[in-house]
Amino acid sequence: MCITGASAWVIIQLYVDPIVRVLTAGFAVIIGYICVKLLGENTLTAYQRAKVSSINIVPSESDVTEKLNTICQDVTCN
């Protein structure tokens, strides 16, 4: 994303033609939008996976009287 902005700035500085400048800025904005959208989708997917994983880790109230097996000893939950 940084490379896109830097290359767009260089192209805009090198060319005088306004059509080239507008097209370059437009492509840079589109590429930036795509990058932010993909980053947001990946973040949302990771958040949803973490949320589901945390639900499986914490025991429910009905399972409190179960015996838990740990590495060092057996623990009875109250």
* Assigned domain for 43 exists: yes
* Assigned domain for 12 exists: no
* Assigned domain for 64 exists: no
User: Which of 3-12, 41-50, 52-61 reaches the highest mean pLDDT?
Assistant: 3-12
Structural domain containing residue 45 = 18-57
Specify whether the CB–CB gap between 29 and 40 falls below 8 A: no
Full-model pTM: 0.58
* Assigned domain for 24 exists: yes
List pLDDT tens digits, range 14-45. 999 999 999 999 999 999 999 999 999 988 88
* Assigned domain for 33 exists: yes
Read out DSSP for 4-34?
HHHHHHHHHHH---HHHHHHHHHHHHHHHHH
Q: How many domains does the chain have?
A: 1
- Per-residue pLDDT averaged across 33-59, rounded? 80
* Assigned domain for 36 exists: yes
In the numeric block, which tokens belong to residue 55?
A: 């639900």
